[in-house]
Chain A
């Protein structure tokens, strides 16, 4: 049983389902300046920061797919963008020898803003109109700042969900030895 729970995919679901429940209930109602906070996106990017690009891509895909299943946007759109965001965050993480909390917050904020911009662009490519608008700037700013603040919670949760051990976390990234 413990082995089963320790599998990263199972842990991702264990984290993802309550997070999605919060996203669709609490965060759907509690808006900052009319903008919905995106904790699924925050967790996807945090997974990249905590576990590297591959884990980030996997976590982003899983969280994005779960999010797509409960909203009316095309299935796979969030999976694609969140997956890319997780991968990008993991890539950023690999460039740094150390990852202090403030740097994680900055990285999470920046990647969140980029992902929030990329989402309507991709939607526009596939024919979903109306997402690219002047309001997008406000959404990007609010989501970036809120996710940067959420990083102090999201990164430890992502570490647990990806079963990243302490010695792995404190060790320099593999890229440092290349």
Chain B
């Protein structure tokens, strides 16, 4: 009998066509394919969990053999970093609190308002191409497909598949990952003290003011751009009532949205009362401007990029070191303000396609242990 009879050829062709059909259906987002994945995962989960329990000691032994020296060095380095950052952390707490108050006053979504679930990473990617991790929380804790996953450093990825008590997270460097972001340019030198204090009894957020900027000191740029508000600085108006300095973190604030047409004027951010309490005015020219684009992963060994940058004359040239944060919005799967990374390279393209920004992620995706899932869904699909 010939080895490649008609029936055998047909069988092999049938397998190939079945594969192509499945690929087509999956790429079109067919619900049958999604259902098939869910059914298989339900059947497979007990086997996988048992295998994980059995192989865990072997994994630990392997890690012990191969990563001991590396871990020891890293531990020492991290201990040094921890000591350095302890003081900065305390100062940052006050800053964050003030920033949150400001955001709340202006009705802007705040990351701290969003509930979250902490999860442990229990598995890595079984493939050399896709970048995923498995976490030990699922739909029982309110997780849904599309929810953003973060850690202390910034954006990690998004939930791409959910079971009752485990989920799959697509990492932000995977080529299938994309999300709208803002690029916040940071000038080489920023005004460290640009302050004016007035007693303007107003509840609006934008108004022209008769006050003048009193002192401006240039200082090297900080990791996060801050505007230091010093109520004790001399002004042209009386009744200065506050006594302490406050440092406010504006890295997550969309100043373009606050006053899109007020370039060069003074914006007054005031408490929502009409009492004669102190208010703070900030010169918009001195603050970083945000530019929007689409962040896209490009695999494990290629830096992710930001594309389709809006050209804003006020923004100017994008600079290396600019901060990339999620932009939020009614359609975005992540709220605004999650730190994604920093621009490390700008690739100019000809024509109208604009520049491509290569980004270094702030979250170290190769060494994830615990992550936080923000229980956030865009307005278009659910309640934030």
Contact partners of B299 in chain A: CB under 8 A = 130-131, 133, 135
What's the least CB distance linking A172 to chain B, in Å?
13
**A135–B298 alpha-carbon span in the complex (Å):** 12
Q: Given known contacts A30-B59, A76-B26, A83-B16, is B129 in contact with A131 (CB within 8 Å)?
A: yes
Interface residues of chain B, those whose CB is within 8 Å of chain A, are: 1-4, 8, 11-12, 15-16, 18-23, 25-27, 33, 36-37, 40-41, 44, 47-48, 50-52, 55, 58-59, 62-63, 123-130, 132, 160-161, 168, 170, 174-176, 297-302
A106: interface (CB < 8 Å): no
A10: interface (CB < 8 Å): no
> Are B1's CB and A174's CB within 8 A?
yes
What's the least CB distance linking B295 to chain A, in Å?
13
12 A-B interface contacts by CB (under 8 A): A26-B59, A29-B123, A61-B19, A66-B40, A71-B130, A72-B130, A74-B26, A76-B19, A131-B175, A133-B302, A175-B3, A178-B2
A-B contact count (CB 8 A): 162
> Are B3's CB and A21's CB within 8 A?
no
Within the complex, which residue of B4, B126, B129, B302 is in contact with A28, where a contact is CB–CB below 8 Å? B126
What's the least CB distance linking B302 to chain A, in Å?
6
Question: What are the nearest 4 A-B pairs in CB distance?
Answer: A130-B175, A76-B22, A130-B299, A80-B19
> Are A57's CB and B124's CB within 8 A?
no
Contact partners of B132 in chain A: CB under 8 A = 71-72
> Are B125's CB and A70's CB within 8 A?
no
> Are A30's CB and B62's CB within 8 A?
yes
Contact partners of A66 in chain B: CB under 8 A = 40
> Are B126's CB and A27's CB within 8 A?
yes
> Are A17's CB and B44's CB within 8 A?
yes
> Are A23's CB and B126's CB within 8 A?
yes
Contact partners of B41 in chain A: CB under 8 A = 69-70
Q: Given known contacts A80-B23, A175-B3, is B15 in contact with A57 (CB within 8 Å)?
A: yes
Contact partners of A57 in chain B: CB under 8 A = 11-12, 15
A98: interface (CB < 8 Å): no
> Are B36's CB and A69's CB within 8 A?
yes
A113: interface (CB < 8 Å): no
* Chain B binder among A1-9, A121-129, A152-160: A121-129
> Are B15's CB and A130's CB within 8 A?
no
**A120–B302 alpha-carbon span in the complex (Å):** 15
Contact partners of B26 in chain A: CB under 8 A = 74-76
**A148–B264 alpha-carbon span in the complex (Å):** 68
**A31–B23 alpha-carbon span in the complex (Å):** 28
* Chain A minimum-CB-distance residue to B51: A21
**A25–B175 alpha-carbon span in the complex (Å):** 23
> Are B47's CB and A75's CB within 8 A?
no
> Are A21's CB and B59's CB within 8 A?
no
Contact partners of A104 in chain B: CB under 8 A = none
What's the least CB distance linking A96 to chain B, in Å?
14
What's the least CB distance linking B61 to chain A, in Å?
10
* Chain A minimum-CB-distance residue to B161: A72
**A69–B45 alpha-carbon span in the complex (Å):** 12
> Are A22's CB and B160's CB within 8 A?
no
A162: interface (CB < 8 Å): no
A63: interface (CB < 8 Å): no
A100: interface (CB < 8 Å): no
Q: Given known contacts A18-B51, A130-B175, is B3 in contact with A174 (CB within 8 Å)?
A: yes
What's the least CB distance linking A176 to chain B, in Å?
10
What's the least CB distance linking B253 to chain A, in Å?
33
* Chain A minimum-CB-distance residue to B27: A74
**A66–B15 alpha-carbon span in the complex (Å):** 14
What's the least CB distance linking B221 to chain A, in Å?
32
Q: Given known contacts A38-B128, A73-B130, is B300 in contact with A135 (CB within 8 Å)?
A: yes
**A64–B23 alpha-carbon span in the complex (Å):** 12
> Are A22's CB and B55's CB within 8 A?
yes
> Are B19's CB and A133's CB within 8 A?
no
What's the least CB distance linking A87 to chain B, in Å?
6
> Are B125's CB and A28's CB within 8 A?
yes
**A52–B224 alpha-carbon span in the complex (Å):** 62
